[in-house]
């Protein structure tokens, strides 16, 4: 986005002050300065509105992205909990297998 062309307020005032020195141009100079200031303030307002709208769209996009990321995090958390359940089952089977192996080895030692 291009920044609007701006005229320095000091330049406008300098032109106005030069014109004020001439009594017949006094009213025209004051009118010109007032018109230029109104014009510039209108441009600044339009530019600020454009910036605000752009920031608003960015905020909306970030809120949408945040919602998607929260959904993805919830899915991953669900998957992790499922995998933890499977891991607990496997560890339980492993402990049962270790106990059975120990019992068999103990029986083998008594049989000798």
How far from 23 is each of 20, 32, 90, CA to CA, in Å? Answer: 6, 15, 99
Q: What is the pLDDT of residues 61-107, one digit of tens each?
A: 999 999 999 999 999 999 999 999 999 999 999 999 999 999 999 99
Tell me if 36 sits within 8 A of 12, measured CB to CB: yes
Cut 0.85: pTM above it = no
Q: Which domain holds residue 39?
A: 9-111
- Residue-wise pLDDT for 6-61, tens only, equals 556 666 656 655 655 655 556 666 676 677 776 666 665 666 778 888 889 999 99
- Whether the CB-CB separation of 1 and 54 falls below 8 Å is answered with yes
Smallest Cα–Cα separation from 40: which of 2, 6, 3, 12? Answer: 6
Q: Total domain count for the chain?
A: 1
Task: Tell whether 2 is covered by a domain.
Answer: no
- Which DSSP string corresponds to 12-77? HHHHHHHHHTSGGGHHHHHHHHHHHHHHHHHHHHHHHHHHHHHHHHHHHHHHHHHHHHHHHHHHHH
Q: Which residue has the tokens 């909990």?
A: 81
């Amino acid at each position: 986005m291009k920044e609007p062309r701006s005229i320095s307020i000091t330049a406008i005032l300098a032109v106005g002050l030069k014109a004020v020195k001439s009594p017949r141009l006094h009213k025209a100079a004051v009118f010109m300065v007032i018109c230029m200031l109104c014009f510039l303030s209108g441009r600044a307002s339009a530019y600020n509105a454009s910036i605000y709208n752009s920031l608003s769209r960015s905020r909306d996009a970030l809120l949408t992205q945040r919602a998607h990321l929260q959904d993805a995090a919830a899915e991953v958390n669900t998957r992790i909990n499922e995998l933890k359940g499977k891991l607990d089952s496997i560890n339980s089977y492993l402990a049962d297998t270790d106990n059975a192996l120990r019992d068999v080895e103990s029986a083998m030692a008594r049989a000798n």
